[in-house]
Chain A
Amino acid sequence: QVHLVQSGAEVKKPGASVKLSCKVSGYTLIDLSIHWVRQAPGKGLEWMVGFDSEDGGTIYAQKFQGRVTVTEDTSTDTAYMELRSLTSDDTAVYYCASRVVTATYFDSWGPGTLVTVSS
């Protein structure tokens, strides 16, 4: 059973960056593909970025390409997502979610991290 634990809420000013973490337990990070999905207040789910285990690269939703970076620390089974040049439109709950290599769905989700962007 995969368990994902995310870092705490953040408040940032416009133009700043935020780096969120997602610690995996129950599995090792190398056995999973970690993705990031966000949800603005009162809105739907929006996939942002994730690791494509088929070719070993990172895949991005076009609107976030160039503004988001994902990294992984396999020694601590922790994934990170950094989002730069924040605006108020980035205020959202950010979820990490995992999928097994052969799947195209997310079978485990973290509890989410609220990021508030405000001057």
Chain B
Amino acid sequence: SYVLTQPPSVSVAPGQTARITCGGNNIGSENVHWYQQKPGQAPVLVVHDDGDRPSGIPERFSGSNSENTATLTISRVEAGDEADYYCQVWDSSSHHFYVFGTGTKVTVL
């Protein structure tokens, strides 16, 4: 099965840049999507297809994807960005189809 590996936690000071990685075998050939989940809430899509933002998502959220690592970048981090973040791909080659990453807790110091 396709495995997406994320760091368990990332800490960042307000106003700085947070980078969350998502590692997978040749993930650069897949479309990667990112979700933000705050405690007790449903996930929210923040980036889709590597780097596109849904309507209403601030430009501070951006994404990139190359070779074996996809990255979600949060610029000018705010306290409200503290949340869990998950990457996700659609893997048609396995029986796991929609695969989520292990998740990263972003803490704003």
- Residues of chain A whose beta carbon lies under 8 Å from any beta carbon of chain B: 35, 37, 44-47, 50, 59-62, 65, 95, 97, 103-107, 109-112
Contacts and interface: CB of A to CB of B under 8 A. Distances in A.
Interface string B33-50: 101010001111100110
B42 A61 contact: no
Contacts, number: 63
20 contacts: A35-B98, A45-B37, A45-B43, A45-B88, A45-B100, A50-B97, A50-B98, A61-B96, A62-B95, A103-B48, A104-B89, A104-B90, A104-B98, A105-B33, A105-B48, A106-B35, A106-B45, A107-B54, A111-B41, A112-B42
B44 A109 contact: yes
A84 to B, nearest CB: 19
Contacts of A106: 33, 35, 43, 45, 88
Contacts of B90: 104-105
Contacts of B108: none
Nearest to A62: B95
Given A109-B43, A111-B42, A104 B33 contact: yes
